[in-house]
């Protein structure tokens, strides 16, 4: 057999109809672009809402700080008493934390193994700790020295 005729030989290059594939790809690109634009618009709106929220929180924080500063100026003697009480209560809190941690360290295994013991511990120390922290926080806020820059300074 001699050389193959051009009819029987497979072509080295073939033709591919890319018009349909390109149109399909273009539609996918357009859909992805639209989705990305929608995501970007949603993020922009979310950022705007966060900025508004920050502005509102900042305004209420400033108002609270101003009211607290006015109260301290109107009641300097009471603010000073709150400062001394906060310092004294801070020492009480340190003693209370010392007894609480000693109780935990001494009864760790019982607290871990027994639900009754854990509940008893929480009932014994939990409310006192919560109330003590709340009172100390209020006293500290009322006794804070106003900062000339407008920020509050708590001891």
* 91-104 pLDDT per residue, tens: 999 999 999 999 99
Give, as one character, the DSSP assignment of residue 107.
T
Enumerate residue ranges in the chain where pLDDT < 50.
1, 148-155
CA-angle at 79, arms to 54 and 84, nearest 5°: 115
pTM for this prediction: 0.54
Mean of per-residue pLDDT scores for the chain: 82
Q: Note the pLDDT of residue 112.
A: 87
Q: Note the pLDDT of residue 97.
A: 94
DSSP annotation string for 3-52: SPPTTTSPPSS-----HHHHHHHHHHHHHHHHHHHHHHHHHHHHHHHHHH
Question: How do the domains of the chain map onto residue ranges?
Answer: 20-74, 76-155
């Amino acid at each position: 057999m001699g050389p193959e005729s051009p009819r029987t030989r497979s072509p080295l290059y073939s033709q591919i109809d890319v018009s349909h594939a390109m149109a399909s790809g273009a539609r996918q690109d357009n859909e992805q672009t639209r989705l990305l634009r929608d995501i970007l618009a949603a993020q922009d709106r979310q950022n705007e809402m966060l900025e508004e929220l920050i502005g509102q929180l900042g305004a209420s924080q400033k108002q609270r700080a101003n009211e607290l500063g006015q109260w301290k100026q109107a009641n300097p003697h009471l603010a000073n008493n709150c400062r001394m009480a906060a310092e004294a209560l801070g020492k009480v809190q340190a003693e209370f934390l010392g007894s609480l941690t000693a109780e935990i360290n001494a009864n760790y295994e019982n607290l871990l193994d027994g639900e009754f013991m854990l509940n008893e511990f929480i009932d014994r120390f939990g409310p006192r700790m919560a109330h003590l922290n709340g009172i100390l926080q209020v006293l500290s806020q009322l006794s804070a020295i106003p900062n000339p820059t407008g920020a509050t300074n708590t001891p």
